[in-house]
């Protein structure tokens, strides 16, 4: 029956959605060509604004190149950690002091650098291009990245976001390292591989926390203090475990 939560397709989808977790430790084991093909086959159907499909993928499996990407990341992380120290100690992302620098993703069998071509914004109506060109590029690339993560999970593989790839410094170094020409943008790196890590349970918002029926329920509007307490109590503790 259409719309039934008991259909096997829905159940299989929910299982993949629930099983995908961010894993930040990999077993150094290669990823076969056929796995790369299966991943790309799945993501080719990702929705994109104007069906522009502004994505291309640099598939990195060479150990030296992966290590070089790890070095670039760590260099940027030092600066990121220095900036974090400007916050009051109890509010720092990593706690009072930064943890030891590490780039566990270098062990992942493949690093897929997702790049986007902003010129495809010409596929949109002119007003949309002017008004939303940048936003649509980001949303479309974000879609393809999340599809990659789910495709990896469906193949029984672990995956990790490396969103710092799109930060100005890392983007420039990655473009140089991987020969990515202008005007492409580096959006994200998706690290995929085998793992022995069993992820701990995660905090997921409940139906009633996120759904307003028919109208925004003003009684559930959160004050600044409530948001701060929520970040401190619900969100930060999870990162203390994985950093």
Ligand X SMILES: Cc1cc2nc3c(=O)[nH]c(=O)nc-3n(C[C@H](O)[C@H](O)[C@H](O)COP(=O)(O)O)c2cc1C
CB of 202 to ligand X, least distance (A): 5
Residue 111: CB minimum distance to ligand X, A: 13
* Sites of contact with ligand X (CB under 6 A): 21-22, 24, 160-164, 199, 202
Nearer to ligand X, 37 or 234 (CB): 234
Question: In terms of C-beta density within 10 A (0-12 exposed, 13-18 middle, 19 or more buried), how is residue 3 classed?
Answer: exposed
Give the residue from 168, 197, 187, 191 showing the smallest Cα distance to 66: 191
Cβ-based nearer residue to ligand X, 11 or 22: 22
Residue whose CB is less far from ligand X, 7 or 79: 79
CB 126 → ligand X: shortest distance, Å? 29
Q: How far is the CB of 121 from ligand X (least distance, A)?
A: 21
Measured from the CB atom, the residue of 121 and 141 that comes closer to ligand X is 141
């Amino acid at each position: 029956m259409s719309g039934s939560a008991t259909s096997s397709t829905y159940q299989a989808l929910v299982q993949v959605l629930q099983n995908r977790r961010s894993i930040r430790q990999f077993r150094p084991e290669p990823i076969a060509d056929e796995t790369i093909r299966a991943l790309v086959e799945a993501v080719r159907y990702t929705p994109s604004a104007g069906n522009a499909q502004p994505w291309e993928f640099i598939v990195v499996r060479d150990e030296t190149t992966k290590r070089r990407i790890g070095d670039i990341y760590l260099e940027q992380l030092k600066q990121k950690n220095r900036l974090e120290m400007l916050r009051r100690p109890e509010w720092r992302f990593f706690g009072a002091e930064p943890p030891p620098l590490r780039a566990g993703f270098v062990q992942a069998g493949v690093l897929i650098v997702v790049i986007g071509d902003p010129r495809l914004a010409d596929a949109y109506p002119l007003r949309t291009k002017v008004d939303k060109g940048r936003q649509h590029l980001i949303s479309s690339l974000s879609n393809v990245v999340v599809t990659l993560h789910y495709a990896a999970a469906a193949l029984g593989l672990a995956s990790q976001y490396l969103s710092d790839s799109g930060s100005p410094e890392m983007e420039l170094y990655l473009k140089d390292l991987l020969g990515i020409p202008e005007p492409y943008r580096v959006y994200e790196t998706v690290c995929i591989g085998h793992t022995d890590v069993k992820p701990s349970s995660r905090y997921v918002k409940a139906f009633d926390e996120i759904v307003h029926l028919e109208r925004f329920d003003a009684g559930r509007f959160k004050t600044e203090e409530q948001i701060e307490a929520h970040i401190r109590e619900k969100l930060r503790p999870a990162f203390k475990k994985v950093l």
